[in-house]
Amino acid sequence: MTADDEALLILEEVERARPRDQKVRLSIDLVGAAGRNLVIGGWIDDRGSTIDSVTVEARGSKAVLSGGQLRRTQRTDVESELRAPAGSRLGLVAFTGDLAFAMPPNEVVRVVIALADGRAASAVARVRSASPVEVRLEALAGLLACSVTEARRRLGSVELVSSARDFAALEALTAEQPAAVPAFADDGLVVMDWQAPRATSVALNVDAVAVSPDGGIFVVGWIDDREAKLTGIRLVAPAWHVSFAAPKLARVRRRDVEQALGVTAATRFGFWGLHFSAKGLAVSAQAGCTIEFVFADGSLQSLKLPHLRQVEQAELRNVVLGQIVADEHVGSVQVEASNLLDGGIGDGIVALNRAVVNRATAGPHVIRFGHRTDFRMSVVVCLYGRAEFLMLQAAAYSATKMGGVEFVYVSNSPELAETLVKEARIATLLYDVPITLVILSGNAGFGAANNVAVDYCRSRVVCIMNPDVFPRSAGWAEALLDGASSGAGGTFFGTPLHYDDGSLMHGGMYFETDTGISFSGNVISERRLLRVEHYDKGTPAEAAKQMVTRPVPAVTGALMVVRRPWYERLAGFSPDFVFGHYEDADLCLRSFAEGEPVFLRNVPFWHLEGRGSTRLPVHEGGSLVNRWLFTRKWLEYAGEHGLLGAEPRNPAFAARKAAAA
């Protein structure tokens, strides 16, 4: 801990009335936390008594540490300050890996120390957010009365420390000095012993290793393992190491390698892997790392990479998504991509994306324009890449009857923030449209951004709308509100959307399955994937069945009206979907599963599909992941509940058949 840290952390020293009016001096030097892991360092002059418990109070939550969670240490500095005899052990370290609640980072907490004689003293400190490993290293350093670096050295394997939940486990780790070569951490990956170097070298290369200090490692390269079968690779850096068992590696075609090796058959020489954990990784780009390739015959070949590419989590995610799009497969792209996502990469991407989303949605910047505060409906619009839709919608909607409607714009493009503020100011000058701007610090994706925006809505009816949706009738607002207040299908519904050419773009969605062929591992296999289809795309907008209110399997997120309590009960859009796509169908299916099928009500809008935002290759990668995820979540359910096809068997859609007939 640096001197600066100490200065920051010793915020206040509080005395409490105690029997006999004798004051207890104490100092809390450190409160470090990572989720449910907590370390407290400091000292207390409890001479004449002993510590009974240490209580941490944070935001109404309280954790009590006692017994084996506390250790007293020698603090010569304190002894000299207090003129206490040497060996008084006034130092205090508290540690637990099992807090009852996740400690909020950067929070100011109160630490109350109760003594056995009934006295108590407290101090206030700010929680330093750390990684679980750091928390343990701090605890260990306190315990050993040494620096963190020294504690790390004494520990041998940093990875092992993650599993220690109390002091006893920590002490056990330091007691048995590890062998010169530590066993590999098992993050559910693979544990291997060291192997002998290979006698004959295998042609291989690592193109790049990208690491995010907040957690996340991506490795990409190629290997000619036709003869020596690869069982796994491990990346060894000074502060961490990670193993990838072969099944966890994506194997893809590399034409450049085929050409270089003179191989004419399509061969999966390429490999890449993603490891994500929320644990922080000490990364030094200069330090580089060693990549070890382990083969089935027990041999090992290693390669030194002098530099690691250090990236932000969001960039790491985009690198991986870009990789999925760039991958060349032998079979169907979506099927092969789904197969490789199954191996663990998919879950890694979802977890990595969640971390990115959590960061992007933390502490949004919110600006309200206009003075009214009570509304009947809140239109929520998620902007990405293009700002002008704010003024276009404001101009178009202000020309309609929209009393009691507010617009909440949420921006996934931080670079547009300044422009959007200007646009909202101009719109407020020109039109009578109440606008709230919710500016996120990064691209949280469609679903998560809308969820944040709904938090700032000031009505009971939420209308999720794309920026390129425009009113086709002046009375749209009343019509939507009428719909939302009606009994049947008023809880959650969509509307027909029309292309600029006047034909139907959206009249509800249904689910089909595609069967793709995979050649994975020289075995030909089939795989079914869910596909979302729009009813009657491109047909005349006036087709009769669009005019009838009816239940449909799903509606597009381009325009959906949801009563707010229902939206909140469903916890809004799932943040697991990357960027956009499929989260709307997912929300509809969750609503169906909870007992409210979604409806289509005839309130027509224009939708200039896809013109409202920009689309990049990483978005295609996101779509592949989303379709894989959506299939995993819903394929079985949709089959079991008769939700497949344009005419689903489920009785909830009987009305649709009646309407069509």
Partner 1 sequence: MKAIATDSPAAGEPGRGSPRLKVLVVSLYHPELIRGGAQQVAYELYQGLAATDGVDATLLASADQRWPSLFKSGARITGFDQRPGEYLFLSREYDHWWHRSGNVELVERFCQFLAETRPDVVHFHHFLTLGIDLLSATRRVLPEAKIVFTFHEFLSICNANGQMVRTFDRSLCTTASAVRCHQCFPNHSPESFFMRENWLKAHLGKVDRFTVPSAFMIDFYARWGIPREKIEHVTNGQQLPAPDAEPSVQPSGPRKRFGFFGQLVDNKGVQVIFQAVTHLRMSGVTDFVVEINGDNLAYATPEFRAAFEAFRAAEEALPAAERNIVFNGAYSHDELPRRMRRVDWCIVPSLWWEIFGLVISEAWNFGKPVIASDVGGMAERIGHDRDGLLFAVGDARALAETMRRAVTEEGLWAKLEAGIRKPATREEMTNAMLRVYRGVGAAEEPATQSTGTLGG
Give residue 516's Cα distance to chain centre: 29
Contact 223, 202 (CB under 8 A): yes
Q: Is 423 in the site for partner 1 (CB under 8 A)?
A: yes
Q: For partner 1, which is the closer residue by CB, 111 or 435?
A: 435
Q: Is 501 in the site for partner 1 (CB under 8 A)?
A: yes
Residues numbered 582 to 621 that lie near partner 1 (CB under 8 A) are 606, 608, 611
Measured CA to CA, the distance from residue 221 to residue 219 in angstroms comes to: 7
Residues numbered 370 to 389 that lie near partner 1 (CB under 8 A) are 388
Contact segment (CB under 8 A) with partner 1 among 6-14, 429-437, 636-644, 649-657 equals 429-437
Q: Is 439 in the site for partner 1 (CB under 8 A)?
A: no
In Å, how far are 40, 96, 162, 165 from 93, measured between CA atoms?
6, 10, 18, 14
Q: Is 84 in the site for partner 1 (CB under 8 A)?
A: no
Contact segment (CB under 8 A) with partner 1 among 140-148, 297-305, 376-384, 396-404 equals 396-404
Among 401, 422, 537, 615, binds partner 1 (CB under 8 A): 422
How many CB atoms are located within 10 Å of the residue 137 CB?
24
Q: Is 425 in the site for partner 1 (CB under 8 A)?
A: yes
Q: For partner 1, which is the closer residue by CB, 137 or 424?
A: 424
Sequence-ordered list of residues with C-beta below 8 angstroms from that of 58, at least 6 positions apart, any chain: 101, 103, 104, 107, 109, 110, 127
Q: In what order do the strands lie in the sheet with 377-383?
A: 365-369, 435-439, 405-411, 377-383, 461-465, 559-563, 492-494, 598-600, 550-552
Q: Is 297 in the site for partner 1 (CB under 8 A)?
A: no
Q: For partner 1, which is the closer residue by CB, 321 or 390?
A: 390
Specify the residue for token string 């995993």.
Answer: 632
229 torsion bin: left (phi>0), alpha (psi -120 to 50), beta (else)? beta
Contact segment (CB under 8 A) with partner 1 among 28-36, 79-87, 391-399, 522-530 equals 391-399
Q: For partner 1, which is the closer residue by CB, 354 or 386?
A: 386
In Å, how far are 223, 340, 386, 654 from 412, measured between CA atoms?
39, 29, 10, 40
Least separation in angstroms between residue 3's CB and partner 1 is 47
Q: Is 503 in the site for partner 1 (CB under 8 A)?
A: no
Q: Is 392 in the site for partner 1 (CB under 8 A)?
A: yes
Torsion of CA 544, 549, 555, 560, to 10 degrees: 120
Least separation in angstroms between residue 310's CB and partner 1 is 37
Least separation in angstroms between residue 466's CB and partner 1 is 13
Q: For partner 1, which is the closer residue by CB, 100 or 430?
A: 430
How many CB atoms are located within 10 Å of the residue 527 CB?
20
CA atoms within 13 A on the CB side of 105: 11
Residues numbered 152 to 211 that lie near partner 1 (CB under 8 A) are none
Choose among 69, 232, 209: nearest CA to 142.
69
Q: Is 432 in the site for partner 1 (CB under 8 A)?
A: yes
Q: Is 391 in the site for partner 1 (CB under 8 A)?
A: yes
Contact residues toward partner 1 (CB under 8 A) are 388, 391-392, 395-396, 398-399, 419, 422-423, 425-426, 429-432, 468, 470, 500-501, 606, 608, 611
